[in-house]
Amino acid sequence: EAAQLADRRDELIRDLIKAKSGLRRYVGGEADEPLVDALPDLRIDADHLRNHLHKHPELEAFSAESHKAEAELRQAQAMKKSDWGVELAYQRRDPRFGNMVSVQFTFEIPVSPATRQDPLIAAKQQELYRIDADREAMLRDHTNELESDLADYQS
């Protein structure tokens, strides 16, 4: 038991030296000075942290990604509908050739949507589901990390 206590004392001294070297990284040589005042009273509002976890920057990034995927899905769905267009152009050319007016009509007709547009729509929908699943997984990871840190704080 005496050897185990000595080993534990050595581990604690090692942890203290590591902690001071980590602190020295942020505050320099002042890390070696003794503490002069009482420890600060740090209050953490756990409920506030839990309620605002969804505003974490890593989770906010999923919002833009989700909007992009939704726009791509709407674009793929729009390709399933027929479309038409008219273009009118006037060109001033060299006097030897005279000016020119041109009119162009375009028609887009979805041909074989079951093999062309439907798979694309399904792929875009799956991408949207993947983004939502990744966001939920990251939210669970951050919630777990927060709860673990709060438990450490309480102890």
What is the DSSP secondary structure assignment for residue 25, as one 8-state letter? H
| CB atoms inside a 10 Å sphere around CB 42 | 6
**Per-residue model confidence as pLDDT tens digits over 106-154:** 988 888 888 888 999 999 999 999 999 999 999 999 999 999 999 998 8
**147, amino acid identity:** E
**Per-residue model confidence as pLDDT tens digits over 81-109:** 888 999 999 999 998 999 999 999 998 88
| pLDDT of 38 over the 90 cut | no
Would you kindly state where each structural domain of the chain is located, as residue ranges?
Answer: 1-36, 42-154
